[in-house]
Structure 1
Amino acid sequence: MPARHIAAAPPAKVPRTRKAPSPPAPPLDAPVTVDAGDWTMDRAPLGAHVSIAGGTWEAAARAREISATGAQVFTKQANRWAEREIDADEAARFRAAMAETHVRWCCAHDSYLINLASPDAELRARSVASFRAELRRCHALGLDALVSHPGNFMDDRASGLARNADGIAEALEAEPGPTRLLMELTAGQGTVLGSSFEEMRDLLSRLPASVRDRVGVCLDTAHIWAAGYDLVTDYDGVWARFAEVLGFEALGCLHLNDSKAKRGSHLDRHELIGEGTIGGEAFRRIMTDARLAAIPKIIETPKGDTPAATDGRMLCRLRGFAGL
């Protein structure tokens, strides 16, 4: 008698996980209980990307909670196209709150959806409009810098670079203001632009003289490691090449992140400082490098379930590397 065929049970539905919401910001005058090291000895602004949940001004209390002297924020939800303007009341509230902290340098990171290099006319137009809105919000808040990733060329690299540069120029010319644009070196995954010092130089060289002095570079340690730059065994060589190709005068910010990925993997996977494939010694050298002493330094490391405690531990570690 043939065996009966028993249909396999359908696979159980796996619930979708969402990023845990940011904890409420503490009162701006609450006692600081997180040990993040001695902020008074920071040679340059040092801090973390902090949440604006509850309002942009709430970033101030979160920065104060980790004794930050620098900070990075989003000015809107980074994964949505919906734009917003910042009115005078919000700007005043943000500035007043930040004045109650030790933060002396603050930047924003723009939306992950923006792709100024796109060959799709509709997406590129939407990206330019969104990028202009990012600049307006930064100017309104009085931020020092806006960090932006170069786009994905999708079709032809040279054409993508040209479109990217044209989009940057169009937005900067339309939105004058004090915030400096910092183009961030990337890990180089897929068709993303800007993963080599030479390609970033090419992108910046395409900008017209009318806006060129408003643009610099943000270097992310995890990104350049994934792009192939060996900060571990050729630290001096990496920085010598950076100086030759881009120049330290272009460097406006450092993103200090260890990496879960191997060098040259082109994977953008951040890890806690000293606990990834880069390791602690490269960060010790960065924190004691006289050439980088005045450059603002921001961490974007994983936060886990206790963002303030984890960020505080990372800042304390970096301050320890600096001998503070």
Structure 2
Amino acid sequence: NLASPDPALWRRSLASFRSELERCAALGVEAVVTHPGNAVDGDVERGLEANARGLTDALEAVPGPRVLLELTAGTGTSIGATFEHLAAIRDGVSPAQRDRVGVCVDTCHAFAAGYDLVGDYEGVWAAYESVLPLETLELFHLNASRHGLGSHRDRHAGIGEGALGEAPFRALMRDPRFE
């Protein structure tokens, strides 16, 4: 948990994350997807800064693999449920390493976090582009949500089986911005 307020847990989390990056580098893996963690003390800003500090340290120590921050559903104390959170983390990474940090949008998480892929598809991407360059969006985790818009519940469903229906997935597959 790179967002942990507990210094000992943060150091263990950093060591674990660096080890994961080292394994990825050894295997030739291009990128690792990670959730930003939990600000268990409720201090989101501190959690975002701690995450960026940890990413900077790990990326400086391990050349090669990129890190893709996955948008979260916003369950409990998790950070990363807004594009602004992801932008703050990325912006907090040292300029020398920042280009190695991108984004993975999980469609279930996006919907659960309140991004209306069904009723305001274009608005979602306008919101993204208002804080992050679109080229930072490198990966989609495509799945539906068992719960409604803004539920903050991380419960995945098969495409076409959940609350999103099929329309947003068709739109994504046809969207020239994501070719």
- TM class by shorter-chain length? over 0.9
Amino acid at match of 2:50: R
Q: CA deviation at 1:242?
A: 1.1
The letter of the residue matching 1:190 is G
Q: Which amino acid aligns with 1:188?
A: G
Amino acid at match of 2:82: S
Partner Cα distance (2:176, 2:117) in 1: 16
Letter of the 2:130 partner, please give it. E
Q: Secondary structure at the match of 1:213?
A: helix
Please report the TM-score for the alignment, with normalisation by the length of structure 2. Answer: 0.96
Per-residue CA deviations over 1:78-102 (Å, capped at 9, x if unaligned) read xxxxxxxxxxxxxxxxxxxxxxxxx
Residue equivalent to 1:281: 167
- Which of 113, 136, 139 is the aligned partner of 2:22? 136
Q: Deviations over 1:3-40 (max 9, x none)?
A: xxxxxxxxxxxxxxxxxxxxxxxxxxxxxxxxxxxxxx
For 1:141 and 1:218, locate their aligned partners in 2 and report how far apart those are by CA, in whole Å.
21
Look up the match of 2:113. 227
Shift of 1:267: 0.6
1:176 matched to 2:27: no
Provide the residue aligned with 1:241 in structure 2: 127
Please state if 1:259 is matched with 2:141.
Answer: no
Deviation, 1:251, is 0.8
Gaps of 5+ in 1: 1-114, 294-324
Write the distance in 2 (CA, Å) between the matches of 1:161 and 1:237: 25
Give 1:244 shift: 2.0
Give the CA RMSD over aligned residues. 0.9
Aligned to 1:149: 35
- The answer for the alignment partner of 1:56 in structure 2 is none
> Alignment partner for residue 88 of structure 2, among 198, 202, 218?
202
What are the residue-to-residue correspondences of 1:1-324 with 2, within 5 Å? 115-155=1-41, 156-177=43-64, 179-293=65-179
Q: Percent identity?
A: 55
Q: TM-score, normalised by structure 1?
A: 0.54
How far the C-alpha of 1:159 sits from its partner, in A, is: 1.1
Which amino acid in the other structure matches residue 57 of structure 2?
A: E
Aligned length: 178
**Alpha-carbon distance between aligned partners in 2 of 1:235 and 1:162, rounded to the nearest angstrom:** 30
Structure 1: 4+ residue segments shifted above 3 A: none
Larger Rg: 1
Q: Distance in 2 between matches of 1:239 and 1:159?
A: 27
What do residues 250-271 of structure 1 show as CA deviations (whole Å, max 9, x unaligned)? Answer: 1111110111111101011110
